[in-house]
Structure formats: C-alpha cells, structure tokens
Chains A and B, each alone.
Chain A
Amino acid sequence: MDTLVEIVSPGFLQREALVGSVLVGYMCAPVGVYFVLRRMIFLGVALPQISAAGIAFAFLIYRTLVGQHQHFVPNERLLAMLGSLSWTLVGLLILAAFARHRDTVEARIGATYAIAAAATILFLALDPAAEAHMVNLLKGDILATTGPSLTLMAGVFGAIALLLLAFRKEFLLISFDRDLAVVFGKHVGLWDSLLYLMIGVTISLGVMTAGPMVTFGFLVIPPLTARIITRRMLTFSLTAAALGAITAFAGFYCAYRFDLPLGPAEVALASLVLAIVVVTRGLSRVLGRWQAA
C-alpha cells in the first residue's frame, strides 16, 4: 500500500515514466482494436521492428550526410521520430497492400520482421558513432521519459483519440463491410490511409517511449481481452483502452514494488489478465452446458 501511495504522489521521482506507461497502454489498445478486427495482428509484430530499423537508419543517414549528432537534445528525438514514422508508414502501406493475398501473409510478415531486425543491427554496425545510448532509443527507455516528451505524447495521442472517436462510424464501415462503404461513396483508400497514419504514429511514439515489445503487447493483448468480454463496438474500444491503462499502471506498480524490468512486467500482467478472462469464460461455458444438461 505504501508503494501505491508513493507512486501516485505528486512528488514521485518517476512520475513521467508512470504517466508515459499509462499513456502508451491507454492509446495503443484502441488503435490495436483495428489490428484485431482487420486480422492484422501479425503486422503488430513486424511494425515495431520496422520502426526500430527506421530509427537506426535515420541516425546512420544523418551521420553520413551531416555528421555526428548530439545526444539528449530535442533534435535527437525528432530525428528518431522521423526515421521511425517514415519507415513504419511505408512498411504498413506495403504490407497492407498485400494483405488481401492471405495465402502468404505469415511468410511476408515473418520475412519483414527478420529483415527489419537484421537491418536494425546492420545500420547500428555501419554507424561508427553508434553507442549504447542508441540501443536505448531503439528498445525504448520509458524510465528516461521527460516532461516535454510526455507533453508531446499526450498531445499526439489525444488528437488520435479524438480522430478515432469522431470518425468511428467511417472506420467501422470500411473495416466491417468495405463494399458497403464504396456503395455509400466513401473514399475507402483515404480512410484506410488515415487509419494507417494514426497506427503508424502510435507505433512510432510507442516504440520510442516503451520499446517494440511493450508496444506490440499493448496493441494486441488488451483488445484481445476486451473482445472476449464485450458485445458492442464502442464498449470494445473503451474497454480495450481501460485495460491497457490499468494493466500499464499495475505493471508499473509491480515492477517498482518487486524491482522487476518495467516493460516485461507490464506485458506479463496484461497477459495474465487475458489468461484469467479466457479461463473464466471457458469455465462459465462449461458450467452453462453442464447445467443445461
């Protein structure tokens, strides 16, 4: 209890990291809802890795064309963001364009993941100035979250949340019944592009803040959990967001309390919640069938 009081107190030293964790958990989940609904879950594996490769590439190109970059300055994060976002968007558009060829989708995404992972390491190796700090940028270091980066994240995620809410009927239509959207005269390609842009920005910010593992974890696990316990679209998205925020907070608490690595603790806790929901649902179905018999 003392730990809980400590982490929610205004003077908590890692307050930015806590808020950053909760923001990543809160925002990745409703975006991840569309990964689940469009059966693009495996893209959630590859995209964070592509994002990391983009960061490494951006620094390599900067080093090659301009020169040594300074660490711990705002421009550094801007450069990382540019590399991450551009690679994520291009990767997303290419993979989404081929998504309809379902017979080879796992192979494409698996290959993309392997290529992106290898490219990340190669870009780091090719950059003579690459240091341990670069590795932190690539794997995400939420404990290094600062006030300005938190403000940026809150602003961007807030805008994305507003867009998801304002255009939820358009996103639902193009995802659920694309043909009907065309019949209604919706520009399906434009709406897809907007959705992919929001996904790309969320993943890029998530990867830079918390790393690929946590980003993928919150993109997928809270929506999968919410899908089991909800029956309507709006409650599906809201429940996923709430689960993402709550498990992020609880994971932070566990990591702080028991001195565990933060990211793995959050993902493990989210997975535990999913497991509990799956088992509970299974048991209730078995019980229902037994009672009916």
Chain B
Amino acid sequence: MPGTLLTLRDVSLGYDGRVVIEHLSFAVEYGECLALVGPNGAGKTTLLRGILGLIPVLAGQIEYGFDRSTSPPGYVPQRDTLDPIFPLTVFEVVLMGTYGRLALLRPVGRRQRQLAADCLERVGLADLANRPFWALSGGQKQRVLIARALAVEPNLLLLDEPTAGVDPGAATAIMDLLARLNRDQGLTVVLVSHHLRLVRSLVRSVLWVEDGSASKGTAEVMLAPERIMDVFGPL
C-alpha cells in the first residue's frame, strides 16, 4: 500500500508546557521500518507518545494517513508500566487489543477471540495462552504485548524499548519477529531502542534524536560507527 502514513510538520512536544523536542518535520511511509535512537533523555519516548496522542502537540501538526478512531495504531509500551496486581492470563492480555475496534456495549465475540488466538500464534506463544501473564519471562511478556498490538489490526505499530531488560537471545527473537512483520506482512513499524546493533540489522531508516531536535536518514548513515562512537562510545 503506497503513500505516507504519518507526517510531522514543525512539531514541538513536551510536558506541562515545557518543550522537550521541537521543530520536528519528517514522514513515515507505508511499509517503512523506522527506529528512534539517541542518548538517554533526548526525547525519543516523548516523540513516540506525541505520535500516539498521549501528550498534546505544543506546536505544529501531526497528520495521519489513516483514521485513528476506527483503525488505531498498535502500541507496545514498556512492560514496567503495567501493574502485576491484575489477574490476567496471556490470552486476556492479547484480547485487550481487540477492544480498540469494539464499539461501546459490544461484547467480545468469537471473531475477537479467534483474532487474539491468531496473534498469539504469530508471535509463537499459542501454547502459553492460559498461563498467568506475570509468570512469563521478560522476553515472553514483550512478545505477548506485541501480540496484543497486532490484535488491534493496525496500519502502524509503535514500540517503546521492546528489548529493554531482556536477555540477548530474547532480544534477537523480538527483533526477528518485528522484521518478519515488516518484511512479510508490510506492517509499518516505528520503535524506540537503545540496542543499536540489533536495530541496525532490522531497520532501513533511523531518526536520530538529540539535543531537542531530530534528523532522519538511512540506517547506514545514521548508525555509522563513527557517529555511534561519538555519542555512546564503543558498542
């Protein structure tokens, strides 16, 4: 599906009126896989939250190439934000993703349940459907949250540090999954990540966020070793 999915025009974002990142202008095309990278505190998560509509735009505008009310984006948060006091099975967590397209008072039906089961299958965790969500490993929880985002049937998938706090094997599995979703199913992916080595193998474009602004380029240029060394030191 050709075309632009997301366009930011001179956007400024921040909290309580305080600007964190400003003068952002870039576009995301259908089928693109874009990583938001940069030093800690640069504003990557702020940008992601602005795109999701979780924080208001302080200046400029964000244009969407899809109807957010009928086709919301898929969102994978950092799993630390979720409270383990909720008694939820893996399947119940994934099923929550189907609420995005369910009208008020419409109960969860067979279609939603089948969709949730299919999404669990796509992330390779169908056999864990009845396990308590909190009993899973960090990498498994992240894949469940990706399944939940897929259950939204999104045009755009946004992930906030999907490999944070997971072991290298699980991180690679998560990135491989995202690569398959992007390459084989044409899903547009935007993710925040600090795992530059993994990101370099996954994405074609990078938005480098630093000092309150951002610049977009190809992964080869933006993740060139000398640039990485300047900011992060040796990988």
Contact = CB atoms under 8 A, between A and B. Distances in A.
Interface string B75-103: 10100011101111100100010011010
Given A179-B81, A180-B96, A184-B72, A230 B53 contact: no
A134 B142 CA distance: 56
Interface string B51-64: 01110000000000
Contacts of B89: 231-232
A173 to B, nearest CB: 6
Specify the main secondary structure of chain B where it touches its partner. Answer: loop
B108 interface: yes
B54 A179 contact: yes
A233 interface: yes
Interface residues of B, number: 27
Contacts of A172: 96
A233 B92 contact: yes
B87 A231 contact: yes
B83 A39 contact: yes
Contact of A184 (B85, B99, B132): B99
A67 B92 CA distance: 56
Contact of A183 (B72, B81, B83, B85): B72
A183 B75 contact: yes
Nearest to B100: A184
A180 B87 contact: no
A180 B97 CA distance: 9
B87 A236 contact: yes
A37 B53 contact: no
B105 interface: yes
Nearest to B101: A184
A169 B83 contact: no
Interface in A164-190: 166-167, 169-170, 172-173, 175-177, 179-180, 182-185
A71 B133 CA distance: 54
A230 B52 CA distance: 34
A182 B158 CA distance: 14
Contacts of A231: 87, 89, 132
Contacts of B104: 170
Given A166-B105, A176-B88, A185 B72 contact: yes
Nearest to A228: B87
B69 interface: yes
Nearest to B149: A180
A244 B154 CA distance: 41
A276 B160 CA distance: 42
B77 A177 contact: yes
A180 B88 contact: no
Nearest to A166: B105
Interface residues on A, range: 20 to 34
B73 interface: yes
Interface in B172-222: none
A180 B104 CA distance: 16
A157 B51 CA distance: 41
Interface string A142-176: 00000000000000000000000011011011011
A233 B100 CA distance: 19
B68 A230 contact: no
A176 B178 CA distance: 25
Given A169-B99, A176-B82, A180-B77, A232 B72 contact: no
Contact of A177 (B73, B96, B108): B96
A173 B69 CA distance: 16
B54 A169 contact: no
A39 B82 CA distance: 13
A230 B99 contact: no
B85 A36 contact: yes
A179 B82 CA distance: 10
A231 B84 CA distance: 12
Given A169-B99, A227-B87, A232-B87, A179 B72 contact: no
Interface string B134-167: 0000000000000000000000000000000000
Given A184-B99, A227-B85, A231-B87, 19 more contacts: A39-B83, A169-B102, A169-B108, A170-B104, A173-B99, A176-B82, A177-B96, A179-B49, A179-B75, A179-B77, A179-B81, A182-B54, A185-B68, A230-B87, A231-B89, A231-B132, A232-B88, A233-B86, A233-B88
Closest 5 CB pairs of A and B: A184-B100, A236-B87, A183-B75, A176-B86, A185-B69
13 contacts: A166-B105, A169-B99, A170-B104, A176-B82, A176-B86, A179-B77, A183-B53, A183-B54, A183-B100, A230-B87, A231-B89, A232-B88, A232-B92
Interface of B: 49, 52-54, 68-69, 72-73, 75, 77, 81-83, 85-89, 92, 96, 99-100, 102, 104-105, 108, 132
